[in-house]
Chains A and B, each alone.
Chain A
Amino acid sequence: MNTATATRYAVKYQAIASALPGQTLPWLQTLRAEALMAFSESGFPSPREEEWRYTNVSAIEKKLFSPSISLPAGSIDAQWLKSYQLQDAWVLVLVNGHFSAELSVLDDLPEAVSVMSMAEALAKQPDQVQKHLGLATAQSEHGFVAFNTAWFTDGLFVHVPAKQVLDRPIQLLHIVTDADIMSTTRNIIIVDEMAEAKVIEIFIGVYSATSSEIVADNAYLTAAVTEVYVGQNADLTLYKMQSESEKAYHFGGSYIKQARDARFTHHNFAFGGLLARSDIHADLDHASECELNGLYLGSKRQHIDNHTRINHLKPYAVSREVYKGVLDDRARGVFQGRVIVAIDAQQTDSQMNNRNLLLSDDAEADTKPQLEIYADDVKCGHGVTVGQLDEKSIFYLQSRGIDEETARNMLTFAFANEMVDKIKIKGLHDMVLEQVLTRFPQEGVNKEWL
């Protein structure tokens, strides 16, 4: 990317700078200034960088998305919102990157637990934020992280103290209401020693207050960064579903630091956007366990990229990764999975798997598993498949009376559903299932029977 475009964005920064949260905090001002500098120099990542070789974000350069300065006026249809809001959850809603207290549900939180907007956390717990902001990822990672650090307007802050087990999930709901804007949010999730929590992050497309529906053909930019800290022997499950509108650009990065014996599970459902990229990078300590699951569905001209990195830094850690993609029309799916085993990470046990189902001749899957092993006593494996439906399975279903087309639809659905079935929260499971069913042929898949 040329730096002229970065400069154009940087100029826009001046307009919003005073409205950004935490501007009274010198350390944050410095951090943002550094990030802006880094972004001005590097711009957005280019395909010349190895980690971005299959994904060209130059289309974002051509558009100049505008920051949203405050919470938009106008109400959001409660009925519509309900279809995305989980019952029995603490819900934090961000509209165009700004916290909406009115739409959020944060009652009955256990006393010692913090679930609040990033702006509120910067006002009430600046030390906690300072300690964690930019620790799990740095601006040097790539342009999007720098961009996010410079611009973030709000986000979610979660702190679960030691031994606290949350009985409800925390849901973060991102809604964008206007075209041509950018929603830039930063989240911090801290789960202390022996604590347990589930956090759900959902991105949904442009919502029009006037027509009460998702306006599918508007472009906007999401750039979200989540930093996650899982304490010793703590347990965190993070769910992400991005169902951005058809012309949206999405970058979402989750950067995780796991302490000794910490368990982290990530479920990544990438469905929407014209161009969408996810980063999931985890650093593992002694005997940490890390499970990454992913499902990406692409059709039309969608480009969906998932980039994972699992860093085995210490001995005895276990990682399991399964990513599945279903690609139709001219869609392109990218999977880059890196597993790095450091020299003293002996007894590492790691398995990575990426499977792609191509439904059309023009669909494309680029998959690149990378194992970098510096220790000598480890068990690491990976597998990759790109292909069509299994003819044996089709015949098996036909031999039970199911016609070929229905069999194909059932198997396509089943391929995806295997990942949906891993969701243990009923409301979320149903929501994700609904998304899968609306995106792929349903004939032959009877929802009532599932």
Chain B
Amino acid sequence: MLSIKDLTVNVNDKQILKGINLEIKPGEIHAIMGPNGSGKSTLSHVLSGKAGYTVTGGSATYQGKDLLEMSPEIRAREGVFLAFQYPVEIPGVSNIYLLKAALNSIRKHNDQPEVDAMDFLTLVKEKVCLLEMDEKFLYRAVNEGFSGGEKKRNEILQMAILEPKLCIMDETDSGLDIDALKIVAEGVNSLRSAERSFVMVTHYQRLLDYIKPDFVHVLAQGRIVKSGGPELALELEEKGYGWVEDNQAAA
């Protein structure tokens, strides 16, 4: 699905990612954990094509194609989805409008006809229900005046409707209370499938109690310093990020 090799990235001439290697197969969930400033958000931004990052070396191959060559919208149409840490408010564009525009641009890319209006509504309502959102949200402007939890739920709603192949979740759990977290996790879990992969970037172990990862990677100072199974997250929780950083320093 996604193969990242020796990826190095600069922001304003400062090296942030210093050689990332990551192999993600279909159906897998990878959690990337790390302290603040370790480069977690940079990694998710670079994968989704945000401007302001210079790739200085290495590669990211997505389904056999060079991901880094694609514009952000092509990545999205090819099935990459970024759930934002800070979803943007767009006054004047309703949620339902955005969903329709997004879904149709993806369908067009895949040579499918525009979605039928009735089918679309049925699909949307079903997902709204799944995320325990009020239908009224659909007709409100994108994220405008939404609470932190509502914004994150809205990201998962989009994800559920666009059905991406690779979901990158950038600190989706930050700022969520436990109830909102459970709903978001449930939404994500319902999307798990043998064809769909997830990269969950998070600072906190708590998210992983609700969405069980196959692999956990620890990112520190621009490198993956440790990889393991779900048990690594628990170990981290217990010992703190200082533990891996100290280990790395010792090595």
Contacts and interface: CB of A to CB of B under 8 A. Distances in A.
A414 B95 CA distance: 12
B100 interface: yes
Interface string A436-450: 000000001010011
B162 A400 contact: yes
A397 interface: yes
A403 B50 contact: no
B141 A418 contact: yes
Interface in A393-446: 393, 395-404, 406, 410-411, 413-418, 421, 444, 446
B87 A396 contact: yes
A398 B49 contact: yes
B97 A449 contact: yes
B90 A401 contact: no
Chain B: interface size category:
20 to 34
A179 B47 CA distance: 59
Contacts of A393: 88, 90
B76 interface: yes
B92 A398 contact: no
A63 to B, nearest CB: 38
Nearest to A407: B73
A404 B73 contact: yes
B158 interface: yes
B101 to A, nearest CB: 6
A62 interface: no
Contacts, number: 84
Contacts of B76: 398-401
B98 A398 contact: no
Contact of A403 (B51, B73, B91): B73
A131 interface: no
Contacts of A82: none
B82 interface: yes
Contact of A401 (B50, B84, B97, B105): B105
B234 interface: no
B63 to A, nearest CB: 16
B158 A400 contact: yes
A411 B90 contact: yes
B93 interface: yes
A402 B49 CA distance: 13
A399 B90 contact: no
Interface residues of A, number: 28
Interface in B63-100: 71-73, 75-77, 81-82, 84, 87-88, 90-94, 96-98, 100
A50 interface: no
B88 A402 contact: no
Residue in A393, A416, A444 with the greatest tally of chain B CB atoms within 10 Å? A393
Given A400-B158, A401-B106, A413 B73 contact: no
Interface in B32-66: 48-51
Contacts of A127: none
Contacts of A450: 94, 97
Given A395-B72, A449-B97, A401 B109 contact: yes
Nearest to B84: A396
Contacts of A446: 97, 100-101
B102 interface: yes
Interface in A374-392: 390-392
B93 A410 contact: yes
Contacts of A413: 92
A414 B88 contact: no
A334 to B, nearest CB: 23
A395 B87 CA distance: 11
Contacts of B81: 399
Contacts of B98: 397, 400
Interface string A111-143: 000000000000000000000000000000000
A415 B72 CA distance: 23
18 contacts: A390-B88, A393-B90, A397-B98, A398-B71, A399-B49, A399-B82, A400-B76, A400-B101, A401-B102, A402-B73, A402-B102, A403-B71, A410-B101, A414-B90, A417-B93, A418-B141, A446-B100, A450-B97
Interface of A: 390-393, 395-404, 406, 410-411, 413-418, 421, 444, 446, 449-450
Given A398-B49, A402-B105, 7 more contacts: A401-B73, A401-B76, A401-B109, A403-B73, A406-B101, A446-B100, A450-B97
Interface of B: 48-51, 71-73, 75-77, 81-82, 84, 87-88, 90-94, 96-98, 100-102, 105-106, 109, 141, 158, 162
